[in-house]
Amino acid sequence: MNKDYFLALADYNLWVSRIAASWLNELTDDQWNQVIPSSFDSVKQTTLHLVSAEKIWLDYWQLVPDPVFLITQFDGTKEDLIQIWLQTSVALKLFIESYPPEAYPQSVCFTWRGVNWQMAFWQTFAHFINHATYHRGQLVTLLRQVGFTKLSSTDLATYFRVHPSVETLLFPDL
């Protein structure tokens, strides 16, 4: 497992979090709260789930005692949630920068739906990236449904195209 690849994914996550945050900053309160049938019933609830998941995975990786899923206690504003999201994405990138590759196969303990689990760090990180991408796709659909149209591509291929230096980082011999 290549640390540079993990770093590229953490950077991608930060890049796309900043783009999504810029979209959310343009929403009206009505758009933010509009009820729409989906996994989570509004842009607000979908964003809260995304941020909660990112934050709790970072807490698990950093061995924070008794981490709390943000969605269970958040009562702040849209701006508060966006700020938490951006701070968490930066913290995640910093964490990956300092996390030693020899620890990638080590187990991470976490709780899911009241049950304690363990998976290798690399598996939980891959899950986190995949999970975030899945729910950002839902967020894009919800944004379109509330009338927001200033969207741009945020997929991984786009990230690699606009950040060509990542290829040099991953494959220095090319």
- Does the annotation flag 49 for ligand binding? yes
Q: Kindly report the CATH class assigned to 3-170.
A: mainly alpha
Q: What is the pLDDT of residues 60-84, one digit of tens each?
A: 999 999 898 999 999 999 999 999 9
C-alpha 1/C-alpha 72 separation (Å) is: 35
- Does the annotation flag 131 for ligand binding? yes
Q: What is the pLDDT of residues 12-70, one digit of tens each?
A: 999 999 999 999 999 999 999 999 999 999 999 999 999 999 999 999 999 999 898 99
Burial of 77 (0-12, 13-18, 19+ CB in 10 A): exposed
For the entire predicted model, the pTM comes to: 0.91
CA nearest to 155, candidates 13, 4, 45: 13
Instruction: Convert 40-64 to b/e letters by CB count within 10 Å (16 or more is b).
Output: bebbbbbbbbbbbbbbbbbbbbeee
